[in-house]
């Protein structure tokens, strides 16, 4: 699915990133697509396709439920019609950000994330110490009829000791600079579903 690179929603995201380093859009996807993605995430979870997420990567990757409690599965093109539509929209956003901000974003990686009740993800940054390719983080929420009392907020730690909390309501999108915005996922009282992703640039290594 291709969208104009000058779509007002894309331009607002680019402006927010340039001015503040983060952006929150209350409604990013049509409700029908959000529901289809949520149903697919739940179906994958029921089929046992989601696996406990680790912190770190490579030989240093560890599953530490006290630090990170979600289960994930990576998206690949051709898996389903809803995920292909989503990946197409995010590729249009990638190209729009490159056009507006000259970020040099080359690709996008994303996974489903399912947090059971009580699970969290402690404060962290999204860029690995040995890999600087992740430049812009994205979180799309898939939760229907979610309220603040359900918990599960994304807490962003902003400059000057400010904080901002995002209620994970279905269809909302949060975008932020991966190496500049520490954040955490607070425990929820319900199962919490999202699509987490990263726009990546070419790494510093020539290989």
Q: Give CA separation, 63 vs 32, 54, 71, 129, 184, in Å.
A: 34, 4, 10, 18, 17
CATH number of 1-52+64-133+174-207: 2.60.120.620, 1.10.10.10, 2.102.10.10, 2.40.30.130?
A: 2.60.120.620
Q: Give CA separation, 75 vs 28, 84, 122, 146, in Å.
A: 19, 9, 24, 24
Share of the chain above pLDDT 70, in %: 92
Residues shown for the chain: 207
**pTM for the full model?**
0.92
pLDDT value at position 204? Answer: 61
pLDDT confidence band for 207 (50 / 70 / 90): very low
pLDDT value at position 206? Answer: 44
Quote the distance between the C-alpha of residue 136 and its chain's center: 9
- Residues 193 and 114 sit within 8 Å (Cβ to Cβ): yes
Structure tokens at 59: 């030989």
Per-residue pLDDT tens digits for 99-156: 999 999 999 999 999 999 999 999 999 987 778 899 999 999 999 999 999 999 999 9
pLDDT value at position 59? Answer: 57
């Amino acid at each position: 699915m291709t969208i104009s690179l000058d779509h007002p929603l894309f331009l607002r995201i680019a402006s927010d990133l340039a001015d503040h380093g983060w952006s929150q859009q209350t409604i990013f996807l049509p409700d029908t697509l959000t529901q289809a993605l949520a149903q697919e995430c739940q179906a994958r979870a029921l089929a046992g396709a989601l696996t406990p997420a680790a912190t770190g990567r490579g030989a240093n990757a560890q599953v530490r439920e006290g630090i990170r409690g979600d289960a994930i599965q990576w998206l690949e093109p051709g898996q389903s019609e809803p995920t292909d539509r989503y990946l197409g929209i995010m590729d249009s956003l990638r190209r729009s950000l490159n056009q507006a901000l000259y970020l040099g974003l080359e690709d996008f990686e994303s996974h489903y994330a399912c947090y059971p009740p009580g699970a969290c993800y402690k404060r962290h940054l999204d860029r690995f110490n040995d890999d600087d390719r992740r430049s812009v983080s994205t979180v799309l929420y898939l939760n229907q009829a979610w309220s603040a009392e359900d918990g599960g907020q994304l807490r962003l730690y902003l400059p000057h000791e400010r904080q901002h909390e995002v209620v994970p309501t279905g269809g909302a999108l949060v975008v932020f600079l991966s190496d500049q915005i520490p954040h955490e996922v607070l425990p929820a009282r319900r199962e919490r579903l999202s699509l987490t992703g990263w726009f990546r640039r070419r790494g510093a290594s020539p290989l």
